[in-house]
């Protein structure tokens, strides 16, 4: 069985402080660091676009380069934090089983949310379906880099340290809120998007905590984003991204059911789907317990 994530103090310089204070310092510091990376790094990348040769690169390649650069930096910050804390993030129990299960959960969650949008009358067929094999592979790798780095940062480094200081449920909730805040200030705008981001953070946090590692939450996070963007073309809304999508579904009319630029991220459909995924995640076998022989 893979070694699970340990949860000792993640703030070495504050070792003499109470655990709750150390957990709070880690949470605030981690959120500020993540916010700085996702907001400041794009500014530097935009400077590169002033170079004609770089600006002339295909949009899909530019997006891949952007994602790799920004989220690679986020992963580097988490790696440094784990090193200073003397911890490491493992894959968890039974990663070969956890990864496909997580992928299936993420895809099913998006499908369920879009089904609710269809019932609400906001799901309509788009006109930009179609993606080449190379673009599908490139887009998938970019999404894997993004979701892997986010899980490594939030569930591999931040969450175990906060749980160590605050306890299980307060630590899970606080880490999920930190995840939501970073995304909200960098990209989202609608209050419902903040709720959905917090629900997503809680879902992924429970998966990491229950499985004892990152294989399950990375696969689930990737499955949701991959199905939403590359398989079903539901984001961006309307149309598809730079890589294209296998299918193209748009969301129109009622903003509460995805009919806005933030699509599922700011919809009741996503809230219901994520609530169901949270309930289901609690049934995952506890990978933190020693395996019985």
Looking at 159-168, 214-223, 283-292, which range is the least confident one?
283-292
Distance CA 259, CA 253 (A): 5
Angle (CA) 25 159 19, round 5°: 45
Q: What pTM was computed for the model?
A: 0.92
* pLDDT tens, position by position, 242-268: 999 999 999 999 999 999 999 999 999
Query: What does the CA dihedral 276, 277, 279, 284 come to, rounded to 10 degrees?
Result: 150
Q: Are 238 and 250 in contact (CB under 8 A)?
A: yes
Choose among 216, 91, 214, 76: nearest CA to 155. 214
Q: At 7, is the pLDDT very low, low, confident or very high (cuts 50, 70, 90)?
A: very low
149-175 b/e with 16+ CB inside 10 Å = b? bbbbbbbbbbbbbbbbbbeeeebbbbb
What per-residue confidence (pLDDT) applies to 292? 38
Q: At 288, is the pLDDT very low, low, confident or very high (cuts 50, 70, 90)?
A: low
Give yes or no for residue 2 having a pLDDT over 60. no
Domain boundaries, the chain: 12-281
What per-residue confidence (pLDDT) applies to 291? 40
Distance CA 249, CA 229 (A): 10
Copy the structure tokens of residue 167.
């306890």
Q: Give the count of beta carbons closer than 10 Å to the beta carbon of residue 185.
A: 14
Q: At 286, is the pLDDT very low, low, confident or very high (cuts 50, 70, 90)?
A: confident
Looking at 34-43, 146-155, 205-214, which range is the least confident one?
34-43
Per-residue pLDDT averaged across 1-25, rounded?
Answer: 65
What per-residue confidence (pLDDT) applies to 285? 87
* CA distances from residue 237 to 38, 133, 233, 265 in whole angstroms, order as listed: 22, 23, 8, 11
Backbone phi, psi, residue 284, to 5°: -65, 135
* pLDDT tens, position by position, 199-246: 999 999 999 999 999 999 999 999 999 999 999 999 999 999 999 999
Backbone phi, psi, residue 93, to 5°: -75, 135
245 strand-pairing partners: 130
Looking at 15-29, 49-63, 88-102, 279-293, which range is the least confident one?
279-293
Continuous segment of H or E residues that includes residue 287: none
């Amino acid at each position: 069985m893979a070694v699970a994530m340990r949860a000792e103090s993640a703030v070495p310089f504050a070792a003499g402080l109470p655990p709750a204070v150390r957990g709070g310092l880690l949470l605030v510091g981690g959120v500020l660091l993540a916010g700085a990376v996702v907001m400041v790094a794009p500014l530097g990348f935009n400077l590169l676009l002033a170079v004609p040769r770089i600006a002339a690169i295909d949009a899909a390649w530019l997006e891949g380069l952007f994602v790799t650069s920004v989220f690679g930096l986020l992963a580097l910050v988490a790696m440094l934090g784990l090193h200073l804390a003397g911890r490491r993030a493992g894959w968890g129990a039974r990663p070969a089983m956890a990864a496909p299960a997580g992928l299936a959960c993420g895809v099913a969650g998006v499908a369920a949310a879009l089904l609710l949008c269809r019932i609400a009358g906001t799901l309509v067929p788009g006109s930009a379906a179609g993606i080449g094999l190379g673009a599908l592979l490139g887009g998938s790798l970019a999404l894997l880099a993004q979701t892997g780095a986010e899980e490594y940062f939030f569930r591999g480094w931040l969450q175990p340290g906060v749980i160590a200081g605050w306890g299980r449920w307060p630590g899970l909730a606080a880490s999920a809120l930190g995840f939501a805040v970073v995304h909200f200030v960098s990209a989202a705008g609608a209050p419902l998007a903040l709720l959905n981001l917090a629900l997503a953070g809680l879902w992924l946090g429970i998966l990491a905590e229950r499985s004892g590692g990152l294989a399950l939450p990375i696969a689930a996070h990737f499955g949701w984003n991959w199905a939403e963007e590359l398989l079903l073309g539901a984001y961006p809304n309307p149309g598809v991204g730079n890589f294209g999508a296998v299918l193209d579904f748009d969301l129109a009319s009622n903003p509460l059911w995805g009919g806005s630029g933030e699509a599922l991220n700011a919809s009741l459909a996503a809230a219901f789907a994520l609530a169901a995924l949270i309930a289901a995640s609690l049934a995952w076998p506890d990978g933190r317990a020693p395996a019985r022989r």
